[in-house]
Chain A
Amino acid sequence: MIRFLLRRILWGIAIVWFVATLVFAMFFIAPRDVARLIAGRQASDQTLELVRKRLGLDQPVPVQYVRFLGRLVRADLGESFLTGEPVTNVIRRGFPVTASLALGAATLWLIIGVGTGVIAATRPRSVFDRVLTGVALFFYSMPPFLLGELLLLFLFFRLYMAGYALFPPGAYVPLTESAAQWARHLILPWFSIALITAATYSRLTRGAMLDVLGEDYIRTARAKGLTERRIITRHALRSSVAPVITQFGIDLGGLLGGAIVTEVVFGLPGLGREAVLAITTQDLPVIIGITILSSTLVVIANLVVDTWYAFLDPRVRVR
């Protein structure tokens, strides 16, 4: 078990290192003069020289690369070109927003997705199953930014115009300030992520459940006279959650690094929106910082899922 974990962690570090190198290459060997980008178009040659020196851009590329990695190991992500704020501060500010968004949405999509999947699997070809299959495919085909826009249009604006100000249009209230306001401001963003993601989970759960329900041990359980409810929850669901867990790790890990589209649509100041802002202003350190953070989170999520599996199923450890 320990050897398995160690191997996985090393591989995870290798991936993060690889991503860091990729980002470094993308930005520092890119055919674009970073110094001019920061100093502005009218900057004199002297200013450019100074900027280069301050950022260490006058050094040869390998030296820059080693320094870059060195800073990374010390969790120093540099400072924003634009505001001079340390990138770690930007991340510390954006992460709670993104985490609130991701965790709330994840809870919702698990409940909706797994719940509907189980119900559909226990009644294959029923009206519920057919309708659900259609609805799931519809949301599955919906790009998140569009659902966000539609929710804003109908649930925020139309209701607001009709005199029901149930949902605020966005903005973020910290959980520590007011839990009720926090949830109220996040409910539309949560649903705009959850409904789309739940579609995948519903299809996944339904498929896995139907496979399991055909197994002999389910028949045994029925023959023993167990209630259908107990068979579903204790026997069938338990062994069909594996693909759901894998998917959950990937999705949550990806989302924690910034729910770009949803944050932009609802104007939430999370990591994703910071990343887009940084990209449009060419603020390299911020882009690099957030990119590395989000791939690290994906790697960690995969690690947790793999460990969880290895814990549940000893056969995995041998691989």
Chain B
Amino acid sequence: MNDAIRARGPWQLAFERLSRDRWAIAATAAIGIIILVAVFAPLIAAAIEHPPEAQYRETGLSPSGIPVGPSRLFLFGTDGLGRDILVRIAYGARVSLIVGVLASGLAVAFGALVGIVAAWFGGAIDTILSRLMDVVLSLPFLVFALALVAIVGPSLTISIVVIAFFSWATVGRVVRAQALSIREQEYIRAARSMGAGSMRIMFVEILPNVAATLIVYATLLIPSSIAFEATMSFLGLGVVPPTPSWGNMLADSIAFYKVAWWFVAFPGAALVGTTLAFNILGDSVRDAFDPRHDQTIVVDADKEKDS
């Protein structure tokens, strides 16, 4: 193209805004590191020669059976069974990332499906689906999740399913509202007059137009899913020990908080660091797609409007 001003699509604009956002870059880098740690957890364990479930009763516990603090042998100290906390944090990152990404992906996919179907078909289908979303949103989700897990028996899969089940309705509501206004657009009528069926309109015409919202929600649901999983593991109904997860490490640490600060501090820092990085990225992604949402800019826009 020879035009002086090149047309830029909304995705390109969003990406450009994002790549100028220092916080977004820092958060992405942090997430990158966490992913690397998770992927290479076995390598880390091999390099230190401490498998995640190995108990070092001689070197990893004091003579009175108390965990030992950070040292050259155990960089982040040991836990109540003399296991290496650094290695267990690395393995715990796998659990957190898998649950975070899969639960959020499932929730967004299902929420998008329900939201679009409700908005496109309207009528009784819309009423039923909307009421269903209302019900899911008014369930006391933690009690329900715990009860459900207690019946079925805890596992990684059930954690993912339960978290997704309690998260999709928020997405569904937002997507439905957006799809309702998209439905009335002229290009939808045009598609209809060219003979497009419901399937085509829902997934080829409407879906790409709510994609930005879906990406924002997917990013923001990852940290809340990670926190949800950690909470369930903390309460003993998440990942089954001895498999390490940040939640069950923090639960174990409660018995030792008086003598072993490192047992709380390092897994805690890993957990907050991860959710914080995803939340910062999520906020930035939202601002990038919808700059008006960034309130500090809104004020400026108003000033410009005045002049």
Binding site for B on A (CB under 8 A): 15, 18-19, 23, 26-27, 30, 32, 124-125, 129, 137-138, 140-146, 149-150, 152-153, 157, 206-207, 210-211, 213-214, 254, 257-258, 260-261, 264-265, 272, 275-276, 279-280, 282, 287, 290-291, 294-295, 298-299, 302
Given contacts A146-B268, A287-B147, whether A298 and B138 have CB atoms under 8 Å apart is yes
Given contacts A141-B279, A279-B147, whether A295 and B264 have CB atoms under 8 Å apart is no
Q: Which of B127-147 contact A (CB under 8 A)?
A: 134-135, 138-140, 142-144, 146-147
Chain B residues lying within 8 Å of A23, measured Cβ to Cβ, are 147
Rounded to whole angstroms, the CA-CA distance of A142 and B235 in the bound complex is 16
Report whether B150 and A279 are in contact in the complex, using a CB–CB cutoff of 8 Å: yes
Q: Can you report 8 residue pairs joining A to B where beta carbons are below 8 Å apart?
A: A15-B134, A137-B280, A141-B278, A145-B234, A214-B302, A260-B146, A272-B143, A275-B143
Give 1 or 0 for each of B267-306: 1 = CB within 8 Å of chain A CB. 0100110011011100100000000000110110010000
Binding site for A on B (CB under 8 A): 134-135, 138-140, 142-144, 146-148, 150-151, 223, 227, 230-231, 234-237, 250, 253-254, 257-258, 261, 264, 268, 271-272, 275-276, 278-280, 283, 295-296, 298-299, 302
Interface of A is mostly: helix
Rounded to whole Å, the gap between the CB of A32 and the closest CB of chain B is 7
Chain A residues lying within 8 Å of B139, measured Cβ to Cβ, are 19, 295, 298
Report whether A149 and B257 are in contact in the complex, using a CB–CB cutoff of 8 Å: yes
Given contacts A261-B235, A279-B237, whether A294 and B302 have CB atoms under 8 Å apart is no
Rounded to whole Å, the gap between the CB of A186 and the closest CB of chain B is 19
Chain B residues lying within 8 Å of A206, measured Cβ to Cβ, are 295
Rounded to whole angstroms, the CA-CA distance of A280 and B146 in the bound complex is 9
Chain B residues lying within 8 Å of A298, measured Cβ to Cβ, are 138-140
Rounded to whole angstroms, the CA-CA distance of A214 and B140 in the bound complex is 37
Interface of B is mostly: helix
Report whether B275 and A141 are in contact in the complex, using a CB–CB cutoff of 8 Å: yes
Chain A residues lying within 8 Å of B235, measured Cβ to Cβ, are 260-261, 264, 276
Report whether B250 and A145 are in contact in the complex, using a CB–CB cutoff of 8 Å: yes
Query: Closest residue to B152 on the A side, CB-wise?
Result: A30
Chain B residues lying within 8 Å of A125, measured Cβ to Cβ, are 296
In the A-B complex, list the 8 residue pairs whose CB atoms are closest, starting with the nearest: A294-B140, A141-B275, A141-B276, A143-B227, A210-B295, A214-B302, A279-B150, A298-B138
Chain B residues lying within 8 Å of A142, measured Cβ to Cβ, are 272, 275
Rounded to whole angstroms, the CA-CA distance of A157 and B261 in the bound complex is 11
